[in-house]
Amino acid sequence: MKYLNPEDYLQATCAMPVVDVRSPAEFEAGHVTGAISIPLFADDERAIVGTIYKQQGKKDAIEKGLEIVGPKMAALAKQAEEAASDGALGVYCWRGGMRSNRMAWLFEQVGLNCTVLDGGYKAYRNTVLNGFSSLENLIVIDGPTGSGKTDILHALKDAGEQILDLEGIANHKGSAFGNIGLPKQPSSQQFQNDLFNELQKLNPEKRIWIEREGMTIGRVYLPQPLWEKMRVSTAVAISVPMELRVERLVNDYGQASHTDLEKSIRKLQQKLGGQHMNTALELLDENRLAEVAELLLHYYDKRYSFSKEKYLDMKPFSVDLNSNDADENANQLIALANKEKL
């Protein structure tokens, strides 16, 4: 059995299955990206043991834990054997204490080689957040709603550039309409963990393109250190004609159900105003989608003008884009970055 700090653990287990032995609720709140849940205790069992620990002490809690786990040991070991690859397995719990130690011991009794995360998930989370603090070479793509920033980001990746796709990892496009057609969002912790996992695949010595976001994307929060880095990083502000932005929004959301579009418009009532919201709903009922998009873009443009001063500390490079061709636009940004040695 080996005990490794988070950095060494992640490197050692990159090609190895990793098992989270915490309760299902803990796992759901956030886990090491790609981990498999094999809980020592169910949620209610963990609550029982925790209550006994507080009221009666450690010895009684351990005895209750053994009573609960005893009948499940064979099943737990079997799950571990099925999860392992070439007889190897990473294991972790909350603090790298009793749960991971006991489970790793059990797994090794059936012939597995276990690597335990020293400090547990808590130490891993500290590593995640600290990992964003050291980020350099970011280029932030800034621009109003409908500019095609996400498509440009993907085109940059296709062209060999490094990117961090915040909205893709968050399962949200960042507006009141951002959840339409997308899976459920992860928890904020899981979003940050998955983002850190993607960051680990990139070369920190080379530029990394990222889309400008506020502190939240839908219901998830950016890591504070990353948000602070984005504010002081090099930025490229793109400008796209209104007619192209309207065209993009109609293409992106025109196939969504009337119900989904109406719900999203109603979310904007307080900021859009009742009169403008009612006008947008009337246009939607008449399937005049381009007019709906243009009306909403005027609202989003006001919001963008207000927020860009708040979220960017450095004056951005400005680029006028006159096409909805993401590849063409990405090439313009690459040419700028090369010229300015960004």
Q: Write down the catalytic residue from 61, 91, 93, 217.
A: 93
Three-state DSSP at 21 gives coil
Both structure tokens of 158: 């296709």
How many Cα atoms within 13 Å fall on the side-chain side of residue 135? 33
Distance set, CA 164 to CA 21, 170, 308 (Å):
30, 11, 20
Three-state DSSP at 312 gives coil
**Which residues face 90 on adjacent strands?**
18, 115
Sequence-distant (≥ 6) Cβ neighbours of residue 266 within 8 angstroms: 277, 281
Given CA atoms 258, 143, 329, 171 in this order, what sign does their dihedral have?
Answer: negative
Mark whether 14 is an active-site residue: no
State the pairing for strand pair 88-92/2-4: unpaired
Give the active site residues: 93
